[in-house]
């Protein structure tokens, strides 16, 4: 390849993936996609290997594109595809994460030749199941929503103009205008990606574009292998736990053994607890995605895109029947809690291997917070993912009140929520002083958000973690504050569990507090000027 052409095409493909992401969330209907940006997009080559993926959206979603694609292509070979066809899947045991994440793959043809695929995935507000938005009591994944196995349909024949597949899906959703609207935004994003790849083929030729895709994958593999080679050979360990499974008080252990041998990295989650009856199980695709996201963030920089090349230098295993590789039909709706803990244990293992890059654990959990209301025969579903503090590191303090490193969701503006929902209002939103763990570099702070319920019949569903076991400090740093959720009803205060579901009354005030990240280094070594600045800004008290 001409290196100039390679650079131009590579950056154009990355730009196309980012543009796809912008198209997706700007045309989306639901707040969770439109404002929270709980979605991702990418370009795959003609064999389904990920080439370029949007780096501003959700890391946990990008690592499984190729896995889900292979499940679809195995059932419907790529050579059978025609213009207008698309793959679709949300099956958690065929590469997807949980049923709310629907993946779509659209083939890109140029003058009759298959160049690759544009792909999009988004989290949908409601896809049916046993409860609006979130069924926290599900005992198998059939109760969590409508299952779309690896499938092939045609956009014109099956979807557009109120096609049969669209009508079938809409009949199973409580908020069909939101869910169908968001799926349409996924198709729009894929159309943009396909157009950009065809433009490149028209300018450089299809053979050159395909060669550039192969080189992009090879480049990432070389960079990851070089980074692994720089780590001292050996075996390193990490361990953490989830608060509980929502059914008992027993913590759920997650362990990892990280082995470095030359330029090959092996990640083995042997010793992780067995799968549970509640919805905390993480499908293996989520475990793979979380692990690769950690490897990418620790070992490479912004100049290395995330694609199939990263997977070639890393082997990932988890015991079958464990929390990180469950057997069907285990429910998986809240799989992000286990995925985050797998990220944390790999991060701890890297901290032992390369201490100069060590980072203390952050709050690192997804607080899935859902309010739903049925009035006059119409469901309203509100869903958002709350923030938390990052851990301090050898280089500086942790970030305050941001999404965890696997979710990257943005803050949903209070004004937008007020405009969209009339059965509750947000009364306060602020940082939590003293929630970051003390240390030479403190952990990031969490936040507190309060919701006033304005109607009877509202239902709260939540899954979260780190209400019991906060983010630990590192190298002598102190732990961050745990999170918590409480319902204030007159003089009564109801403690909400990390995995809970309860009816609300008009006038109830929900206080949802996220925790902070762990501190790094001894607190006595913190710079005096940094302490005074934290006190001046109200981040810590005297």
User: Token digits for 458?
Assistant: 């509202």
User: Token digits for 412?
Assistant: 């949903």
Q: Which of 205, 222, 239 is the last residue of a domain?
A: 222
Is the pLDDT assigned to residue 59 strictly greater than 80? no
How confident is the model over 172-212, as pLDDT tens digits? Answer: 999 999 999 999 999 999 999 999 999 999 999 999 999 99
pLDDT of residue 356: 87
Inside any domain, residue 233: no
CA distance 41 to 105: 10
Residue 338 buriedness (CB in 10 A; 0-12 / 13-18 / 19+): buried
Inside any domain, residue 306: no
Task: Give residue 408's pLDDT band: very low, low, confident or very high (50, 70, 90).
Answer: confident
Inside any domain, residue 310: no
Whether 508 and 488 have beta carbons less than 8 Å apart is answered as yes
3-state secondary structure (DSSP) of residue 249: coil
Look up the domain containing 64 and give its range.
3-222
Inside any domain, residue 215: yes
Q: What is the dihedral of CA 197, 202, 204, 210, to 10 degrees?
A: 40
How confident is the model over 205-254, as pLDDT tens digits? Answer: 999 999 999 999 999 999 999 999 999 999 999 999 999 999 999 999 99
User: Token digits for 176?
Assistant: 């069909």
Taking the CA atoms of 142, 144, 149 and 154 in sequence, report the sign of the dihedral they define: positive
Q: How far is CA 466 from the centre of its chain?
A: 17
Taking the CA atoms of 318, 103, 76 and 164 in sequence, report the sign of the dihedral they define: positive
Average pLDDT, rounded, for the chain: 95
Query: Does residue 218 sit in the same domain as residue 362?
Result: no
Containing 385, the helix (H) or strand (E) segment is strand 378-385
How confident is the model over 32-53, as pLDDT tens digits? Answer: 999 999 999 999 999 999 999 9
Inside any domain, residue 414: yes
Edge-first strand order for the sheet with 234-242 is 234-242, 252-261, 264-268, 314-317
pLDDT of residue 290: 95
Inside any domain, residue 374: yes
Buried (b) or exposed (e) across 94-131, using 16+ Cβ within 10 A?
bbbbbbbbbbbbbbbbbeeebbbbbbbbbbbbbbbbeb
Inside any domain, residue 95: yes
How confident is the model over 492-526, as pLDDT tens digits? Answer: 999 999 999 999 999 999 999 999 999 999 999 99
- Residues composing the chain: 542
User: Token digits for 315?
Assistant: 């082997």
Inside any domain, residue 485: yes
| Continuous H helices in 58-152 | 59-62, 65-75
Query: Does residue 48 sit in the same domain as residue 197?
Result: yes
Q: What is the mean pLDDT of residues 51-69?
A: 83
Q: Which of 222, 251, 282 is the last residue of a domain?
A: 222
Structural domain count, the chain: 2
Three state DSSP letters for 424-463:
EEEEEEEECCCCCCCCCECCCCCEEEEEEECCCCCEEEEE
Q: Which of 171, 196, 222 is the last residue of a domain?
A: 222
Task: Give residue 57's pLDDT band: very low, low, confident or very high (50, 70, 90).
Answer: low
Query: Does residue 364 sit in the same domain as residue 216?
Result: no
Q: What is the mean pLDDT of residues 326-348?
A: 96
Whether 96 and 89 have beta carbons less than 8 Å apart is answered as yes
CATH number at residue 175: 3.30.450
């Amino acid at each position: 390849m001409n290196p100039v052409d390679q650079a131009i095409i590579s950056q154009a493909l990355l730009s196309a993936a980012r543009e796809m992401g912008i198209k997706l969330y700007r045309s989306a209907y639901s707040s969770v996609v439109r404002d929270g940006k709980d979605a991702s997009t990418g370009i795959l080559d003609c064999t389904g290997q990920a080439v370029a993926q949007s780096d501003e959206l959700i890391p946990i979603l990008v690592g499984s594109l190729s896995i889900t694609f292979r499940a679809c292509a195995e059932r419907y070979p790529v050579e059978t595809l025609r213009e207008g066809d698309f793959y679709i899947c949300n099956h958690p045991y065929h590469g997807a994460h949980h049923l709310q994440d629907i993946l779509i793959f659209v083939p890109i043809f140029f003058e009759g030749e298959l160049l690759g695929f544009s792909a999009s995935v988004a989290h949908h507000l409601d896809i049916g199941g046993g409860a609006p938005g979130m069924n926290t009591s599900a005992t198998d994944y059939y109760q969590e929503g409508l299952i779309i196995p690896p499938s092939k349909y045609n956009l014109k024949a099956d979807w557009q103009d109120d096609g049969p597949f669209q009508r079938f899906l809409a009949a199973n959703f409580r908020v069909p205008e939101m869910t169908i609207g968001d799926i349409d935004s996924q198709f729009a994003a894929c159309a943009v990606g396909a157009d950009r790849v065809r433009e490149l083929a028209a300018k450089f030729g299809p053979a050159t574009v395909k060669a550039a895709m192969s080189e992009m994958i090879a480049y990432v593999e070389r960079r990851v292998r070089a980074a692994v080679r720089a780590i001292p050979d050996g075996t390193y360990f990490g361990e953490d736990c989830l608060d509980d499974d929502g059914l008992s008080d027993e913590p759920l252990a997650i362990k990892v053994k990280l082995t470095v041998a030359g330029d090959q990295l092996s990640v083995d989650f042997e010793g992780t607890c067995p799968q549970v009856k509640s919805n905390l199980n993480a499908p293996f695709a989520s475990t793979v995605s979380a692990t690769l996201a950690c490897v990418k963030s620790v070992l490479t920089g912004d100049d290395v895109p995330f694609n199939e090349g990263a997977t070639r230098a890393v082997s990932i295993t988890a015991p079958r029947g464990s929390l990180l590789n469950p057997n069907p039909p285990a429910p998986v709706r809240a799989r992000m809690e286990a995925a985050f803990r797998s990220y944390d244990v790999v991060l701890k293992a890297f901290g032992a291997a390369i201490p100069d890059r060590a980072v203390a654990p952050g709050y690192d959990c997804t607080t899935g917070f859902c309010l739903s209301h049925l009035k006059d025969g119409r469901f309203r579903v509100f869903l958002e993912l709350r923030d938390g503090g990052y851990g301090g590191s050898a280089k500086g303090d942790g970030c305050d009140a941001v999404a965890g490193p696997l979710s990257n969701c943005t803050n949903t503006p209070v004004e937008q929520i007020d405009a969209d929902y009339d059965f509750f209002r947000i009364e306060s939103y602020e940082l939590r002083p003293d929630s970051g763990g003390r240390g030479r570099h403190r952990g990031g702070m969490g936040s507190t958000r309060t919701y006033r319920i304005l109607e009877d019949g509202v239902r709260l569903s939540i899954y979260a973690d780190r209400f019991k076991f906060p983010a630990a400090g590192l190298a002598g740093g102190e732990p961050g504050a745990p999170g918590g959720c409480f319902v204030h009803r007159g003089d009564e205060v109801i403690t909400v569990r990390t995995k809970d579901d309860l009816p609300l009354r008009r006038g109830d005030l929900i206080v949802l507090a996220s925790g902070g990240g762990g501190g790094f280094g001894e607190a006595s070594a913190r710079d005096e000027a940094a302490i005074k600045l934290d006190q001046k800004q109200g981040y810590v008290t005297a």
